[in-house]
């Protein structure tokens, strides 16, 4: 079976601030069907559940800064006397200082010195207590958070779960950790998804019998994120459900339900299913990926290697934020998109795709999607941030697709065309070595109305240089919206032209 590809390249460019998608989905280059796999790997070929990808990828090494602050404390008191005796503040008297006065004069000096020592100490202690109370007041109660950063509501729920787990264990002295409680809270909302296809889809040209049943071609994971009176909604990866004739959803308690595909988005690799709610009473809580910090706890829950290991848990940390991973969606060897993802060292294996990445409170912070799998790389996995997941699933629920600004052109990267063709047939100047070739313009589209034609070479949008299709799509989808105008600079027959298109 022909399989799509995904790659990663070492790039620092092409990064822009993301924005909420709007507009209609563009009709871009015709995409090959993406086959089923249990986990997206960044490699030259997507493999089955028991295979590992081997494409080369860049690993980046980060050093840790170590700061050492030398602190020297100076307490009140006196220096020792030259004769080696201790000062009065240390409870001793100077030799010969008690002349004619007995012990009274020495005792008076000791009492005064002790007072001068204790008063600042007591004042400092009181000040520290006041500052501690103020800190707890403004950083705990006002924002509804406990000192460890978990909200009071989450903390209360976690304590209830700990009590339940302790009761189930039959040991009142058993200590239940925060991690255990977070996993128990989240795992009830994580499901397994089985992609079922007919034999004719799996093996082209094969004529299956009329009574044949769809067969399993891949498994993945999903997360129940919303409940209504009738349905439970599940988010997963697009590559988990792509090409499915039927979708089977296996709940944490073992129940098997039929899933209905509501919508998919190939660019963000997200899909939404719905199943009959029945007795389902748990939906995961959304966290906030925007507030995440490197080093925070990250827990991956899913079904690595299929249903046999459903509900498996791996724990790690957030290893990186706002990672940009160029990917090849249609398998033509060119990068079509740049995914913005979280990096984690929590183990992600084939079958974890579409599963949950949760924080220390059991709240969803990402959808596990990709990993780097090669002999020299260990512990580099990626998840789609939950803030983006929320935006995408809302549009998929409502429209069945993500609506984006539409220009109406088919594209080809300039660097894929031989230099002699660019110079001799397209009359492109020698100094123009990057851009995007318009291979086709659809009638009645914004590009057609603006007067663009085949073989035009786009070099900038709104004055921003465009070097390839990836940059063009990123700018169009994240910087523009429906109804906005787009200024396009392009070369035609060696001459530079500028037109303005109104996006649909």
Question: How confident is the prediction for the chain on average, in pLDDT?
Answer: 75
The residue from 269, 336, 345, 456 that is catalytic is 269
pLDDT digits (tens, 9 = 90+) for 62-119: 333 333 333 333 333 334 444 444 443 334 444 444 433 444 444 455 555 556 667 7
Cα dihedral 182, 184, 186, 191 sign: positive
Catalytic residue among 289, 319, 340, 353: 353
**Whole-Å CA distances, 492 to 413, 426, 429:** 16, 8, 10
Q: What is the pLDDT of residue 207?
A: 56
Active-site residue, selected from the candidate residues 239, 242, 319, 359: 239
pLDDT at position 162: 80
- What is the rounded (10 degree) CA torsion for 11, 13, 19, 20? -40
353 catalytically annotated: yes
Max avg pLDDT among 53-62, 134-143, 176-185, 258-267: 258-267
Residue limits of CATH 2.40.10.120 in the chain: 1-53+171-205+212-404
pLDDT at 382 over 90: yes
Over pLDDT 70: what percentage of the chain? 70
In angstroms, rounded to a whole number, what is the distance separating the alpha carbons of residues 47 and 223?
23
Lowest mean pLDDT among 24-38, 173-187, 343-357: 24-38
Structurally, at CATH architecture level, domain 409-502 sits in: Roll (2.30)
pLDDT at 150: 62
pLDDT of residue 502: 92
* pLDDT above 90 for 237: yes
What is the structure's pLDDT at 116? 63
- Residue 220 exposed, middle or buried by CB count within 10 Å (0-12, 13-18, 19+): buried
Topology of the domain comprising 1-53+171-205+212-404: Thrombin, subunit H (2.40.10)
Lowest model confidence (mean pLDDT) among 12-21, 218-227, 416-425, 487-496: 12-21
Taking 50 as the threshold, does the pLDDT of residue 501 lie above it?
A: yes
Give start-end residues of each CATH 2.30.42.10 domain in the chain: 409-502
User: Catalytic residue at 239?
Assistant: yes
Pull the structure tokens for residue 104.
């009274």
C-alpha to C-alpha distance for 197 and 210, rounded to whole angstroms:
14
Q: Smallest Cα–Cα separation from 143: which of 130, 152, 154, 134?
A: 152
| Residue-level pLDDT at 92 | 42
> Residue 299: enclosing H or E segment and its boundaries?
strand 297-302
Q: Where does the pLDDT of residue 421 fall: very low under 50, low under 70, confident under 90, or very high at 90 and above?
A: confident
> Is the pLDDT confidence value at 60 over 60?
no
Predicted local distance difference test score (pLDDT) of residue 71: 36
Task: Answer yes or no: is pLDDT of 38 > 70.
Answer: no
Q: How many CB atoms lie within 10 A of CB 274?
A: 20
410 Cβ contact list (under 8 Å, min separation 6): 28, 29, 438, 439, 440, 441, 442
Residue 288 backbone dihedrals phi, psi, to 5 degrees: -140, 105
Is-contact 78 91, C-beta < 8 A? no
Q: Which two tokens stand for residue 234?
A: 């599940």
Q: Residue 411 corresponds to which tokens in the numbers above? A: 């594209």
Query: Given the structure tokens 């007795």, which residue do they identify?
Result: 279
């Amino acid at each position: 079976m022909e399989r799509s590809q995904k790659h990663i390249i070492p790039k620092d460019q092409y990064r822009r601030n993301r924005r909420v998608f709007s507009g209609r989905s563009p009709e871009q280059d015709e995409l090959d069907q993406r086959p089923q796999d249990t986990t997206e790997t960044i490699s030259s070929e997507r493999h089955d559940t028991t295979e590992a990808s081997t494409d080369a990828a860049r690993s980046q090494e980060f050093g840790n800064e170590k700061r050492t602050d030398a602190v020297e404390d100076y307490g009140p008191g006196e220096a020792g006397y030259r004769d080696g005796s201790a000062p009065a503040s240390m409870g001793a008297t100077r030799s010969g200082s008690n002349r004619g006065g007995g012990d009274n004069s020495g005792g008076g000096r000791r009492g005064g010195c002790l007072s001068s020592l204790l008063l600042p100490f007591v004042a400092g202690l009181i000040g520290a207590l006041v500052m501690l109370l103020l800190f707890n007041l403004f950083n705990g109660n006002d924002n509804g958070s406990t000192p460890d950063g978990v909200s009071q509501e989450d903390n209360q729920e976690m304590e209830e779960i700990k009590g339940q787990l302790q009761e189930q264990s039959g040991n009142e002295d058993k200590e239940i950790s925060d991690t255990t409680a977070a996993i128990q809270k989240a795992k009830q909302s994580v499901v397994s998804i089985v992609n079922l296809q007919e034999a004719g889809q799996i093996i082209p040209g094969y004529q299956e019998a009329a009574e044949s049943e769809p067969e399993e071609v891949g498994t993945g994971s999903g997360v129940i994120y919303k409940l209504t009176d009738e349905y439970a909604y599940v988010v997963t990866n697009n590559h988990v459900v792509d090409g499915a004739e039927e979708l089977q959803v296996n709940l944490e308690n073992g129940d098997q339900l039929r899933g209905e595909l509501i919508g998919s988005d190939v660019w963000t690799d997200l899909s939404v299913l719905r199943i009959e709610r029945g007795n389902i009473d748990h939906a995961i809580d959304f966290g906030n990926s925007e507030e995440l910090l490197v080093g925070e706890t990250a827990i991956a829950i899913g079904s690595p290697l299929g249903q046999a290991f459903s509900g498996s848990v791996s724990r790690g940390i957030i290893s990186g934020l706002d990672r940009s991973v160029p990917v090849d969606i249609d398998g033509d060897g060119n990068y079509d998109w740049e995914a913005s993802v979280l990096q984690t060292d929590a183990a992600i294996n084939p079958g974890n795709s579409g599963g949950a990445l949760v924080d220390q409170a059991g709240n969803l912070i990402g959808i596990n999607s990709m990993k780097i799998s090669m002999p020299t790389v260990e512990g580099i996995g990626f998840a789609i941030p939950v803030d983006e997941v929320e935006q995408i699933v809302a549009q998929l629920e409502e429209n069945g697709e993500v609506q984006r600004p539409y220009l109406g052109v088919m594209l080809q990267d300039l660097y894929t065309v031989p230099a002699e063709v660019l110079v001799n047939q397209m009359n492109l100047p020698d100094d123009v070595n990057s851009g995007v070739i318009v291979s086709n313009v659809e009638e009645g589209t914004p590009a057609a109305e603006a007067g663009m034609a085949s073989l035009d070479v786009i070099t900038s949008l709104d004055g921003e240089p465009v070097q390839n299709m990836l940059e063009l799509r990123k700018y169009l989808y994240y910087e523009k919206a429906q109804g906005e105008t787009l200024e396009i600079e392009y070369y035609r027959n060696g001459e530079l032209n500028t037109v303005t298109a109104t996006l649909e």
